[in-house]
Amino acid sequence: MSLRKTCVGLIFATLALATLTACPPPPPVGVVYVKDGPPPMRTEVIVAGPGPGSVWVPGYWGWGGSAYVWTGGVWSTPPHAKAVWVAPHWHHNKHGWYSVGGHWR
């Protein structure tokens, strides 16, 4: 291989690497980034629970593909006596806003 072809190849490789490293990494699988943050939480009326051991799980804003969608709170039965509900919440980073789902801990 000639010196000229080697130099041209190195130049293209350097430019390709510079282009790839300048782009932000893609979001993790399953994570959707949203440009604007969620609206303020809604005030909910909590009705009487269905029975002993039930826990109120508050409503939350989710992403519906083109707009935020409110999901109202519900009464739920924890998976075990010491379970604690961790509410879904939104985080912001340089890519935008993304949701972390609620779960029992």
What is the full DSSP assignment across 41-92?
PPP---PPPSSTT-EEE--EEEE-SSSEEEE--EEE--SSTT--EE--EEEE
Structural domain of 90: 28-104
Q: Note the pLDDT tens digit of each residue in 63-91.
A: 999 999 999 999 999 999 999 999 999 99
Residue 18 domain flag: no
Could you give phi then psi for residue 55, rounded to 5 degrees? -125, 135
Residue 59 domain flag: yes
| Number of structural domains found in the chain | 1
pTM of the entire structure? 0.69
Q: What would the mean pLDDT of 34-38 be, rounded to a whole number?
A: 97
Q: What would the mean pLDDT of 42-58 be, rounded to a whole number?
A: 95
Residue 13 domain flag: no
pLDDT bin (cut points 50, 70, 90) of residue 30 is confident
User: For residue 27, what pLDDT is reported?
Assistant: 52
Residue 64 domain flag: yes
